[in-house]
């Protein structure tokens, strides 16, 4: 039989798992086949030991599997050269002051030598005192060697070695320097090995360190064969189905459900079961022929939104249960069967609903330790009165009226409680059970399952296709998120990938209509254009359009849904909004190679965190690595990047995979020390330091970030309304010889060659503001001077004679307009949000030269505008005729021989025919020649800008590293 040793430590946190895994890997490199075991009821550490050994790790637990330890060791170490046991907690820490079932207890039971790993940082001779105490405690196992961890160097190691020898302690087998790389952890322990592709590389590097500093030959020499009679468990007769078909038991196995004892699965197979693994995260149906479902523990709270999004599987579980398929759930598996789960930061989602329970998390442990459970009535696994050992370790608690299945007592004594839930064909509870200790219970479950008809295959039973995702968040608003997302969309689309943008929720007045109707934030329309695809409502499924006084109009999938104050939206509506967004995201992931996601504001707004649906919650749902961008131009970029990571909840902090520093002015090598500081402090790579380049300007996402644009002889003054919307209407003018300025004061209109009254979300309120600030008189004076005035959408409405709102779309009543156009506007439903194209109709002045020509853009408005009375001389209606839904819609009006004009069409300046006609008229008015050369469309102008942006990012980002993060994030 193979010889073995036990690696133990004085306390938890000494690095046992890292050291044990690296030792196993170092021995394996020397040709030794090593069988790993973990002492105690642990599911997480065995994943690292298994990875290092290349063999499945077993559990040795004297409480859960009494009298079976020698048999488990003998059975599972067949074919191995060595046996390596990693201890649990401190060497003597177990049940009660006697330390029952501790690492020391197991070492004594198996007569295996112990290697004690001690933290030698800031000590030397004191290490000898610590080791002497552990080795000489009455009833101590044989401590045969010492491994000193966190040793500063050879001299420090020699001092420890000499101290141990001087006081006749076990010898020092080697020492380990402080390791830069550590294994990440979360609330239940280490992050499981299979969840991080880089875990194997970390262990390889640590193993190389140990090969240089640990006497592996001495370690092998001290190993001994374990002792004890290997008495096998007594299994009942295998369970057969009536027709002889396989007895299929579906076992949940993925990142969310992995807390399974190898011995439990072996017990089920010994009873005749065919185990069929499935993924609640990825599979849409249960395996064919399933008669029972095993839902082990794990981290469902870490994958809450992904589990809730897999509605086909949730429906399949409900259907299977109704048809007689049995269900057994432990801890996380029980949580998955509940109706509602609220995670550690307060995010809530519905799950399977087979138990009428609501699960929520506490900041402190709810239960931890060995327990003995006694069935209060007949259950799926245990008859009334039967007792069995179990282990509990959870931060959550369940609320609901479900009857309790068990009376529970702590193994250490004290007051008991009632726990577990039972229904016909279903048993679930917080206790983790090793079925090898109670094979009759497993057989009882299987006998109850053989009469189930078995799940039939469904067309959707294949794992769902899922593209990769990448998210960009910022430490603040305007940190460069849209800039990065747009550039990355273009970059990866040019490489031949099918790419789509996504922003779960956008708050902006700058919106764009999409094909088929509906509106989304302009930033996502721009990103879709950079991908080379038409924009659609799924790219921005939730759009909040501010109405003032902390109220917003909520647009879901392009259509108005509700109006709500911020508090009501976050408290009552954001849950539904996220479910809509998540469904849209899942659809995009299934149809694309890559979805590039954009966050909003900062991901660390902790006052709103439980209701934040756009940042890390969306990233988690997509399994997207997150790039965190900081704007150095604002100052404090080191503090903002480090501080953002610091305040994030631990369970979400790991989603942030890399950093980017944006808008650096000057020599970027001056920030080399800053890069080193960030990488050392955050343990995350800095993908790049992006130079400041104002020529790479993109349309601003909201009016707070608008900036004057363009250069040239023509000055276009856009009135900066408080609720200015769709201010990208003028971007193309800035590309062709215009200086576009946003007028904050009436005096800013002086000297303008064109005055634009733009769109607005609140026409009545902004018209009132316009008059109060004196803009009304200034616009009228400009028109009287002959300066052209253009009204777009809300601005068009204001230029009319009167505005009426009988239904209270904005506010009940009516208000006189500026009276520069002979039209009236009546507000009412339904809201128009669609693309539009048509032909010019005006026949006066410069507009007459455009008559019959094409025009295109989009509409977003709730008002209907029509001529009022007889049209005066030099005025007319319509400005253009638009096609919408197969109908021709007259729209727009002009007056003063075309020097005052307006209509509902946004994006008209993107159309080269209309833009060149307007600009040549303005240029002629100043004695300038017409523009020469081909007139590009607005889209052509933007695409050239996207290409420059993609080239810029490709030059300044570490693309190889970024692609590696994307590959790992999609696992």
Q: Which residues are catalytic?
A: 793, 906
Q: Are 92 and 104 in contact (CB under 8 A)?
A: yes
Which pair of tokens denotes residue 649?
């909840």
Residue of 470, 472, 474, 471 lying closest to 644 (CA atoms)? 474
Bridge partners for 100 per DSSP: 95
Residue of 641, 574, 575 lying closest to 603 (CA atoms)? 641
Cα gap 730→748, rounded to integer Å: 17
The sign one gets for the Cα dihedral 583, 588, 593, 598 is negative
Give every CB contact of residue 314 below 8 A, 6+ residues apart in sequence.
308, 351, 352, 353
Cα gap 107→227, rounded to integer Å: 10
Give every CB contact of residue 244 below 8 A, 6+ residues apart in sequence.
none
Q: Nearest 5°: phi and psi at 276?
A: -125, 100
The residue whose two tokens read 């939206």 is: 569
The sign one gets for the Cα dihedral 461, 462, 467, 471 is positive
Helix spans in 167-310 (H): 199-213, 216-222, 262-270, 304-309
**Which whole-number Å values give the CA distances from 817 to 3, 794, 822, 867, in the listed order?**
93, 11, 10, 14
- The string of DSSP codes covering 320-371 is HHHTT-EEEEETHHHHHHEEEEE-TTS-EEE---SEEEEEEE-SS-SEEEEE
**Which whole-number Å values give the CA distances from 184 to 18, 202, 292, 345, 647, in the listed order?**
11, 11, 35, 19, 17
Cβ atoms < 10 Å from Cβ of 73: 27
**Which contiguous run of DSSP H or E holds residue 154?**
helix 154-166
**With b meaning 16 or more CB within 10 Å and e meaning fewer, what string describes 947-962?**
eebbebbeebbebeeb
**Which whole-number Å values give the CA distances from 605 to 138, 342, 608, 771, in the listed order?**
54, 19, 6, 38
Cβ atoms < 10 Å from Cβ of 153: 10
Q: Please, what's the largest Cα pairwise distance for the chain?
A: 113
Q: With 0-12 CB in 10 A as exposed, 13-18 as middle and 19+ as buried, what is 413? A: exposed
Residue of 608, 689, 612, 605 lying closest to 643 (CA atoms)? 605
Residue of 85, 90, 88, 92 lying closest to 136 (CA atoms)? 92
The residue whose two tokens read 């020397």 is: 30
Cα gap 48→183, rounded to integer Å: 10
Cβ atoms < 10 Å from Cβ of 311: 14
């Amino acid at each position: 039989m193979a010889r073995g040793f036990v690696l133990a430590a004085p306390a938890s946190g000494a690095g046992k798992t890292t050291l044990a895994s690296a030792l196993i890997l170092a021995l394996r490199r020397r040709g030794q086949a090593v069988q790993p075991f973990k002492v105690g009821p642990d599911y997480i550490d065995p994943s690292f030991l298994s990875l290092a050994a290349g063999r499945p790790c077993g559990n040795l637990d004297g409480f859960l599997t009494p009298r079976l330890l020698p048999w488990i060791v003998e059975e599972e170490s067949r074919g191995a050269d060595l046996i390596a046991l990693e201890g649990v907690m401190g060497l003597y820490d177990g049940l009660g002051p006697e330390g029952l079932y501790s690492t020391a207890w197991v070492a004594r039971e198996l007569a295996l030598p112990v290697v004690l790993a001690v933290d030698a940082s800031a000590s030397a001779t004191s290490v000898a005192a610590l080791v002497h105490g552990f080795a000489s405690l009455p009833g101590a196992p044989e401590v045969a060697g010492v491994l000193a961890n966190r040793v500063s160097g050879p001299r420090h190691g020699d001092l420890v070695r000499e101290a141990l020898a001087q006081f006749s302690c076990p010898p020092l087998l080697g020492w380990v320097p402080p390791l830069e790389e550590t294994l990440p952890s979360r609330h239940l322990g280490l992050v499981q090995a299979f969840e991080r592709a880089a875990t194997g590389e970390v262990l390889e590097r640590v193993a190389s360190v140990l090969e240089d500093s640990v006497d592996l030959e001495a370690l092998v020499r001290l190993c001994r064969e374990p002792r004890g009679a290997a008495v096998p468990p007594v299994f009942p007769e295998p369970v057969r189905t009536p027709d002889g078909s396989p007895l299929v038991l579906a076992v949940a196995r993925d990142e969310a459900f992995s807390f399974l004892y190898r011995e439990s699965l072996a017990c089920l197979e010994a009873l005749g079961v065919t185990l069929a693994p499935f993924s609640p995260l990825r599979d849409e149906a249960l395996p064919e022929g399933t008669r029972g479902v095993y839902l082990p523990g794990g981290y469902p709270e870490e994958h809450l939104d992904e589990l809730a999004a897999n509605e086909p599987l949730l429906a399949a579980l409900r259907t299977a249960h109704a048809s007689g398929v049995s269900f057994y759930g432990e801890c996380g598996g029980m949580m998955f069967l509940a109706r509602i789960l609220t995670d550690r930061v307060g995010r809530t989602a519905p799950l399977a609903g087979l138990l009428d329970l609501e699960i929520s998390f506490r900041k402190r442990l709810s239960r931890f330790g060995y327990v003995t459970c006694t069935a209060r009535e007949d259950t799926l696994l245990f008859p009334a009165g039967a007792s069995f050992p179990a282990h509990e370790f959870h931060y959550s608690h369940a609320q609901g009226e479900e009857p309790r299945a068990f009376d529970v007592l702590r193994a250490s004594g004290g007051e008991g409680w009632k726990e577990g839930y039972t229904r016909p064909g279903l048993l679930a509870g917080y206790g983790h059970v090793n079925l090898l200790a109670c094979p009759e219970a497993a057989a009882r479950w299987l006998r109850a399952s053989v009469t189930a008809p078995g799940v039939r295959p469904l067309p959707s039973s294949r794992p769902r296709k899922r593209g990769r995702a990448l998210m960009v968040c910022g430490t603040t608003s305007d940190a460069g998120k849209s800039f990065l997302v747009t550039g990355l969309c273009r970059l990866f689309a040019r490489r031949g990938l099918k790419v789509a943008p996504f922003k779960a929720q956008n708050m902006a007045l700058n919106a764009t209509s999409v094909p088929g109707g509906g509106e989304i934030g302009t930033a996502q329309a721009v990103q879709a254009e950079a991908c080379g695809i038409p924009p659609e409502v799924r790219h921005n499924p939730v759009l909040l359009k501010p109405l003032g006084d902390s109220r917003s109009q909520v647009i879901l999938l392009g259509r108005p849904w509700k109006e709500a104050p911020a508090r009501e939206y976050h408290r009552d509506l954001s849950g539904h909004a996220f479910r809509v967004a998540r469904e849209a995201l899942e659809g995009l992931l299934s149809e694309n190679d890559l979805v590039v996601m954009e966050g909003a504001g900062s991901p660390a707004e902790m006052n709103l965190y439980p209701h934040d649906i756009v940042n890390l919650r969306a990233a988690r749902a997509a399994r997207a690595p997150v790039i965190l961008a900081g704007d150095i131009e604002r100052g404090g970029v080191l503090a903002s990047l480090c501080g953002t990571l610091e305040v994030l909840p631990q369970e979400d902090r790991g989603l942030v995979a890399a950093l980017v520093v944006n808008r650096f002015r000057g020599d970027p090598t001056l920030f080399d020390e800053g890069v080193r500081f960030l990488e050392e402090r955050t343990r995350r790579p800095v993908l790049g330091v992006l130079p400041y380049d104002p020529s790479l300007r993109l349309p601003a996402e909201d009016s707070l970030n608008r900036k004057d644009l363009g250069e040239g002889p023509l000055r276009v003054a856009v009135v900066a309304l408080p609720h200015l919307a769709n201010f990208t209407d003028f971007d193309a003018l800035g590309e062709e010889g215009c200086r576009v300025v946003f007028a904050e004061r009436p005096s800013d209109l002086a000297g303008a060659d064109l005055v634009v009254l733009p769109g607005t979300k609140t026409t009545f309120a902004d018209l009132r503001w316009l008059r109060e600030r004196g803009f009304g008189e200034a616009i009228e004076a400009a028109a009287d001077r002959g300066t052209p005035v253009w009204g777009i959408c809300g601005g068009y409405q204001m230029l009319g004679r009167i505005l009426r709102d009988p239904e209270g779309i904005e506010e009940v009543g009516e208000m006189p307009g500026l009276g520069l156009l002979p039209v009236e506007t009546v507000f009412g439903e339904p809201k128009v949000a669609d693309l539009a194209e048509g032909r010019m109709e005006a026949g006066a002045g410069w507009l007459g030269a455009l008559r019959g020509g094409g025009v295109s853009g989009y509409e977003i408005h709730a008002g209907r505008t029509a001529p009022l009375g007889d049209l005066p001389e030099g005025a007319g209606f319509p400005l253009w005729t638009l096609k919408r839904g197969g109908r021709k819609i007259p729209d727009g009006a002009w007056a003063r021989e075309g020097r005052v004009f307006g209509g509902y069409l946004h994006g008209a300046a993107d159309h080269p025919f209309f833009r060149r006609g307007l600009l040549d008229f303005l240029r002629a008015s100043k004695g300038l020649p017409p523009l020469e050369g081909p007139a590009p469309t607005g889209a052509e102008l933007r695409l050239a800008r996207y290409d420059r942006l993609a080239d810029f990012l490709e030059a300044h980002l570490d693309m190889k590293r970024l692609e590696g993060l994307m590959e790992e994030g999609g696992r």
